[in-house]
Structure 1
Amino acid sequence: MTQHAAGAAVPKRYNPRLEMYKGIWRRLRKNKSAVIGGGIVIFFILLAIFGPMLTPIDPNATDITNKNQPPSADHWFGTDNYGRDMFTRIIHGAKLTLIVGFLSVMIGGVVGVIFGIVAGYYGGWVDTIIMRIMDVLLAFPGILLALAIVSVLGGSLTNMIIAIGIFSVPAFARIVRGSALSVRKLEYIDAMKALGASDLRIIFKHILPNVTSPIIVQATLRIATAVLTASGLSFLGLGAQPPAPEWGAMLSAGRTFMHDSPHMVLIPGIMIVIVVLAFNIFGDGLRDALDPKMNK
């Protein structure tokens, strides 16, 4: 009997977390548009990391004799009004654009998640004060709030990241608060309190893991908004300053020559549209994949 048991195949141990990830991947893979969007996002991330290795040209190197040249074999995306290679500047600009998008959303996400969890978990006057502050921030359109903050702090890449991060805080706070309110009413949270668990342990060990999915989805969608806002601020001269190869700044510089050299406007504009659209499509697909109601 013992030998038979030893020779029998040992059943694989069920791992609920692994099965959950597999289910998310299966649902995400079925969404073709989300897969395409995710592929484009990964492409631009890799381009931002390894792209500068593809071209030895300095993105700020000028060549007045070749200014405003259309796309050609020597300059795939043409040159700008200073003779700078547009292809090189687009590649280096991808790094700046994604850095602004990720860092600003990271700042807004961390601060917003803290405010949202504290408001949802404690409730009462704490919830009232925090959410009224969030309501004041939400009363302003995002681009106008970022514009006001950058106007006070001064135009620079760092200040632009801070401004976009600040106007991203309310979106995270409201989503996390709603999830925290529903989770804190569950019976096992009351059981943890009865067992003497501290508030920090309950928040970080039991509430935060349950609100991770909406945070991830919101962060993905928010990066698209951050990229668009950053490009708008740079276009207005309040973001990345020349000669930084930021796509919004390139778009602003090219508008003067858009009739004679339309590539100076079209190429950075198309890059912005592709990145924003990719993050939005991928975020929508990720939201569907992480939705518990779609579990089979």
Structure 2
Amino acid sequence: MKSPIGITLTEKEAKIKPDKGATILRRLLANKMSLFGGIVVLLYILIALFAPVIAPYDPYEVMLQDKLKPPSFEHFMGTDDKGRDVFTRILYGARISLGVGFLSVFIGAFFGIILGLISGYYGKMIDTVIMRFVDVLLAFPGLLLALAIVSALGPNLINVVIAVGIFSIPTFARIVRGSTLDIKKSEYIDAVKVLGAHDSTIIFRHILPNILSPIIVQGTLRLATSILSVAGLSFLGMGAQPPSPEWGAMLSKGRDFIMTAPHLALYPGMAIAIIVLAFNIFGDGLRDVLDPKMKR
């Protein structure tokens, strides 16, 4: 068989290569654990999107005559000390936890990617300055750094997003810098430079698309950390404020009734544990699929 430019190809060489996206999807579906994690994550996202449709009650409606009721057919997960339906508040809490988690990871990834690309591509003094700044952020435990930032800015969800986003920057910056250092040594990057391409073109059109795999994997794993951090800050009273149906805040309130009404702490804790575990499992599966070293 002849190619359009006259080069003879064998039938095997002439076969159309399978679509890369379809191959990745097939490998992901073949990993049972990552498939399970992905289904759970998708279920949580759907719950967050359709919470007003699914929820049987108003999450903020106070009904003191129904306070501290145990789980029943009327109230699937019982009621809290204000008579509010716990199941409804768990559903609406998914909106807050996932929304804050996604937004904080986006902020961390955006600035981390920019810093990592600049540091890895230009190197020298620029690399030294940026990496020392990243080292300073890494010197503090993540949750402690976020706690300090929220304490300075004030306890609310917007400041929690900023704080969690800031302590997510170093992880993305280091991963992107390492990948950029590896990619910029490639021959095709030298060829593009010889052709006179601008630095911004090389960085965003030729380097960034080729380092997306580790960024996607890290973003998925970071979502689990962010959701857990948001819940932790709310548990300490530095995040969502009452009567917000945020899981960490609900868990904190449930401590006061752990002996008389354990369902107030049990169900928010389960919601947090399940989604964090699901994101970690799904992220591990993505890493196995997208990492070339894992391919057979």
The two structures have a TM-score, normalised by structure 2, of: 0.94
> In structure 2, what is the equivalent of residue 50 of structure 1?
50
Output the amino acid matched with 1:28: L
> In structure 2, what is the equivalent of residue 106 of structure 1?
106
Tell me the percent identity.
60
In structure 1, how many angstroms separate the alpha carbons of the residues matched to 2:31 and 2:286? 9
In structure 2, how many angstroms separate the alpha carbons of the residues matched to 1:269 and 1:182? 42
User: Any idea what the Cα deviations from partners look like across 1:122-141, whole Å, max 9, x if unmatched?
Assistant: 00000000000000100111
In structure 2, how many angstroms separate the alpha carbons of the residues matched to 1:176 and 1:55? 41
Does the CA-based 8 Å contact 1:233-1:239 persist in structure 2?
yes
Output the amino acid matched with 1:294: M
User: Any idea what the Cα deviations from partners look like across 1:157-211, whole Å, max 9, x if unmatched?
Assistant: 0000000000000000000000000001111111111110000100111000111
Q: Secondary structure at the match of 1:52?
A: helix
In structure 2, how many angstroms separate the alpha carbons of the residues matched to 1:189 and 1:155? 47
In structure 1, how many angstroms separate the alpha carbons of the residues matched to 2:233 and 2:206? 39
Q: How much has 1:94 moved relative to structure 2?
A: 0.4
> In structure 2, what is the equivalent of residue 7 of structure 1?
none
Does the CA-based 8 Å contact 1:28-1:289 persist in structure 2?
yes
> In structure 2, what is the equivalent of residue 164 of structure 1?
164
Asked if residue 148 in structure 1 is aligned to residue 159 in structure 2, the reply is no
> In structure 2, what is the equivalent of residue 67 of structure 1?
67
Q: 5+ residue gaps in structure 1? A: 1-12
Asked if residue 134 in structure 1 is aligned to residue 113 in structure 2, the reply is no
Output the amino acid matched with 2:94: A
> In structure 2, what is the equivalent of residue 211 of structure 1?
211
> In structure 2, what is the equivalent of residue 277 of structure 1?
277
> In structure 2, what is the equivalent of residue 77 of structure 1?
77
The two structures have a TM-score, normalised by structure 1, of: 0.94
Q: Secondary structure at the match of 1:244?
A: coil
Which deviates more, 285-294 or 224-233?
Answer: 285-294
In structure 1, how many angstroms separate the alpha carbons of the residues matched to 2:93 and 2:194? 54
> In structure 2, what is the equivalent of residue 8 of structure 1?
none
Output the amino acid matched with 2:137: L
> In structure 1, what is the equivalent of residue 8 of structure 2?
none
Instruction: Pick closer, same or farther for the CA change 1:294–1:74 going to 2, 3 Å.
Output: same
Output the amino acid matched with 2:22: K
Does the CA-based 8 Å contact 1:23-1:295 persist in structure 2?
no
Output the amino acid matched with 1:38: G
Q: How much has 1:14 moved relative to structure 2?
A: 6.9
Output the amino acid matched with 1:199: D
Runs of 4+ in 1 over 6 A off after TM superposition: none
> In structure 1, what is the equivalent of residue 21 of structure 2?
21
In structure 2, how many angstroms separate the alpha carbons of the residues matched to 1:290 and 1:74? 46
Instruction: Pick closer, same or farther for the CA change 1:263–1:14 going to 2, 3 Å.
Output: farther
User: Any idea what the Cα deviations from partners look like across 1:221-261, whole Å, max 9, x if unmatched?
Assistant: 00000000000000000001110000000000110001000
Instruction: Pick closer, same or farther for the CA change 1:280–1:15 going to 2, 3 Å.
Output: farther
Q: How much has 1:294 moved relative to structure 2?
A: 3.1
> In structure 1, what is the equivalent of residue 294 of structure 2?
294
Q: 5+ residue gaps in structure 2? A: 1-13
Q: What is the aligned-residue RMSD (CA, Å)? A: 1.4
